[in-house]
Amino acid sequence: MASVSIRIAQQGSSTQFPSWDEINPGQWEREEWKRSATLWPESWLSYLSPHIKPPRLEIFLLLNETSLDEGYNKQFIQNLIECVRRSIWEAEIRVVLSQDVALKVPEFETRGISQQSPAALFETLLEEDIADVLQWNNRRTLIEAAARSALRMKSAYDHEPGKGWKCFVRTPPALGPDQEAFLRRFLIPSLRELNDENCLIVLQGKGENYIKYLKRALGTKPNREVMVGIIDQVEKPPRDLEVFCQAHGYALVWFHGLVELYYFLLRLNKESLNRSSLAHMGKSVRVITNPTFRFHAPPQLLITHAYVRGRIDDSADAARDVWEIKRELGADKARIEIYPAATCIKLAALLNKLDHVLVWVHIGHGKDTEGLQQAEDGIFKTADDWLSSFASYHSSLALALFSSCRSASVAEHFAKSGAGVAIGYTEEVFKKACKYLTKGVVKAAIDSNGYPDAILKAFWEGRQQIASVDKKALPVAFWGRP
């Protein structure tokens, strides 16, 4: 049976987080997942300065490679990733293999669609937007592996889009038949075999002739973009090679094994081809250091939660709601800023950095006369207190949505203060139905760039869904007029 060991860490922290083995992902109410939902909010509380954002968590999924002998179940992997994303807020997910297991196991497609070969497993991980696949066998240094991964994957996005990438591996040592078969879709025997693709040149063996070799090989290379990779290096790449690549404009990437190389090539090609339509419409350029205009970015969505220690179920529900919103929006629709432990003072500091926010969603508890509960001390703050967080904020707010019990008066206050549309609840929030309204309204606001009619239409549709379940737990919307 397939199984995965879950390891959680945080960059720059020595905190020991819980770990466990998972054999049946999909049990959302399992205690380990619910407690995991408190880890990131807890780290926010430990950062006393409101101006410092704690690092995101690193989630490592250590696959049981023995079970690869029978193929991996795609649904198992997808359920596992969904468990992580709906429970652990903002997290980088990396899959870990300790060896070139994918090179040694035969294909399994003929056994039915329920089982995946290891090579097909990589495609599933790419579809699920896993940050990276690591080839690593030291569990105590996984954070080090993640740091290398982050540097490597940055290069996958930092290039001209529109062309596919091939891989040329320098020999000796020669690749074995299993290695060649594994890399076949990307591998070329010579730089002369390039057609209209870019090329990643991978160096193996000892490095005393790296630069001499590259000068000779690249002296006759076609007019294509080139990256240089080093494989099977425990130490950092040689300094003279770094200098050479920097001087000639070649990105230098570092792999610990063929598993990492293979997933990098998958990601590299996906990112290049996903943006290929833009390449045909125009040419991308780098923005100068001090531009005249503010860089045009996707609309910004701010999601806050009032985490209070000991409220495990509240944090798990909030993490799930955030995941629902992100899944509804899809990739690249908006820049999403998540603050899981919001107080009025810390929210003010955060808003100073964010500039223009199109949508603000707040998740927490509310009371009619006292307002909304804030994180850390659990004190309820009035609408005026929360509005004071925006004192230095000099932009519009198309939507303020309070996913909180008895928050209607706060929503009304924000609408009177100029928010385009503000939504709250007069009674208790019906959680299961509430999420449909929240994600529908947020999507309408993002898709329409804050057009009030689109927001209110989505609000009414969501309100009718809630009314079919509980007519008392209904939201109300307010919109301002000059």
Domain span(s) for CATH 3.40.50.1460 in the chain: 300-479
Q: Match 């780290």 to its residue by tokens.
A: 43
Query: Hey, what long-range contacts does 67-70 have (CB within 8 A, 24 or more apart)?
Result: 67/1, 67/2, 67/3, 68/101, 68/102, 68/105, 68/118, 69/105, 70/108, 70/115
- Report the chain's mean pLDDT, rounded to a whole number: 85
Selected from 3.30.530.20, 3.30.70.20, 3.40.50.1460, 3.40.50.1820, the CATH number assigned to the domain covering 300-479 reads: 3.40.50.1460
DSSP string of 50-80, one letter each residue: TT-PPPPEEEEEEE-GGGGGG-EEHHHHHHH
Q: What is the pLDDT of residue 2?
A: 65
Q: What is the pLDDT of residue 369?
A: 85
Compute how many other C-beta atoms are within 10 angstroms of the C-beta atom of residue 108: 20
Q: What is the pLDDT of residues 53-91, one digit of tens each?
A: 888 899 999 987 776 665 667 888 888 898 899 998 888
Contact between 455 and 422 (Cβ < 8 Å) = no
Print burial letters for 443-464: b (CB count within 10 Å at least 16), e (below 16): bbbbebebebebbbebbeebbe
Q: What is the pLDDT of residue 233?
A: 65
Please give the average per-residue pLDDT across 180-203, as a whole number: 89
pTM: 0.87
Contact between 446 and 455 (Cβ < 8 Å) = no
Give the residue from 324, 266, 26, 11 showing the smallest Cα distance to 127.
266
Q: What is the pLDDT of residues 12-62, one digit of tens each?
A: 777 778 888 887 665 656 788 899 999 999 988 887 676 678 888 999 999
Task: Name the fold adopted by 158-281.
Answer: Rossmann fold (3.40.50)
Residue 197 has pLDDT above 70, yes or no: yes
Looking at residue 17, the DSSP 8-state letter turns out to be -
Cα–Cα distance, 40 to 54 (Å, whole number): 8
Of 110-114, 275-279, 440-444, least confident by mean pLDDT is 110-114
Q: What is the pLDDT of residues 227-243, one digit of tens each?
A: 999 987 667 888 899 99
Q: Which residues pair with 421 in a beta bridge?
A: 399, 479
Cα–Cα distance, 26 to 78 (Å, whole number): 9
Give the residue from 249, 248, 169, 170 showing the smallest Cα distance to 213.
170
Q: What is the pLDDT of residues 141-172, one digit of tens each?
A: 888 899 899 999 998 888 777 789 999 999 88
Q: What is the pLDDT of residues 294-322, one digit of tens each?
A: 666 788 999 999 999 989 999 999 999 99
